[in-house]
Amino acid sequence: MTSEPTAEVVDLCRDLLRIDTTNTGDNDTSVGERRAAEYVAEKLAEVGVESALHESAPGRANVVARIPGADPSRGALLVHGHLDVVPADADEWSVHPFSGELRDGYLWGRGAIDMKDFDAMVLAVVRHWQRTGVRPPRDIVLAYTADEEAGSDYGARFLVENHRGLFDGCTEAIGEVGGFSYSVNDSQRLYLIETAEKGIDWLRLHAKGRPGHGSMVHDDNAVTALAEAVARIGRHRFPVVVTDTVRAFLEEVSDLLGVELDPDDPETAIAKLGPIANIIGATIRNTANPTRLSAGYKDNVIPGRPPPPSTAAACPASPSCWNGSCASWSARTSRSSTSSGSRPWRPPSTATWSRPCPRRCAPRIRARVRCRTCSPAAPTPRRSRSSASAASGSPRCGCPPI
């Protein structure tokens, strides 16, 4: 390898891409980050940087190192990236997702953008510092973590809860997402600053019907009810909720673009942001997307209770809006209920978004659906068909009907 960081970074990134660190969200099927963590530790050791591996579960490894700075009285800077990647189906790729192939001037592979490229850049810069005798002005703490793609329980959360001392003195941090930019014109570019993240709730939607034979006329098919509910979720659009920081951003961008900002129609201004419009557009409303679906156990049998699909929902504003919609979806599915995934709902990092669901939502939700936020222990009653129409109206939190 060459000693120049700009040349070495390609080789480092390629090596990391060729290490499969698939994270499925299940330890039994996840590959784990151990090999990649050992690779990072080895590359740091080659230039004299001592690091430590912290394994939260077999194969789920994190690497942390501290590089002393010139002024120890200054707060340390934490630079962190994750080593895991989401699953990749090789049949959907023009190159193998773990080949690290260079083609048409690009480096291809799962994690090339999220975020082994950043991991490699940090590693290349630190190695260059060590070779050339550069000492940073303050301590730099490097953290290469596991499990970011599935909640960070085995990564960042594990380190903070079990090895908090590793981050003593850190006053700022640089990590994922930063760097998205938008060119207003040839001489002006905007660099976006993230002020908060969406909360998340993984849910499962259950439906129950009458089992029967696939050749018969059947008007109580749980698979049909489940499919219809999932379709409603996929089509639903939550109302626009513009937070103070998003409003400030849109006002600034509108001035620069010479576009009049209509507070009741922020999407017009957002649509002019080109490739980042989709990212910004997701900050003005809650989102819910079906991500997994399964049903049945034999081709000619109508199941009474098919396995539930998973839906991933993100909530940038008040959770009351999401909870009300959760109730409406479930109430309109024949004898259905929602249940939470394996991880708890995590509110966004902005205090005004973290308030509990208003009590006015609870009576409606408790009456018809099991919803952890509003009524953790409430049973899901078996409802007759006559109650379906009453349950399908707008929830009392003010969300529109679905």
Residues annotated catalytic, as ranges: 84, 148
Alpha helices in 140-291 (DSSP H): 156-162, 222-235, 244-257, 266-270, 277-281
* Nearest Cα to Cα of residue 108 among 87, 94, 122, 121: 94
Bridge partner list, 250:
none
User: What would the two tokens of residue 148 be?
Assistant: 């970011």
Q: Is 217 helix (H, G, I), strand (E, B) or coil?
A: coil
| CA gap 113, 122 in Å, rounded | 14
| CA gap 328, 204 in Å, rounded | 14
Pairing of strands 76-82, 170-174: parallel
* Segment (H or E) for 212: strand 212-213
Q: Is the dihedral of CA 97, 101, 103, 105 positive or negative?
A: positive
Whether residue 208 contacts residue 304, with contact meaning beta carbons closer than 8 Å, is answered with yes
Whether residue 12 contacts residue 43, with contact meaning beta carbons closer than 8 Å, is answered with yes
For 389, residues 6+ apart whose C-beta sits below 8 A from its C-beta are: none
Tell me the CA end-to-end span of the chain in Å, nearest whole number: 58
For residue 216, say if its preceding peptide bond is cis, omega within 30 degrees of 0. no
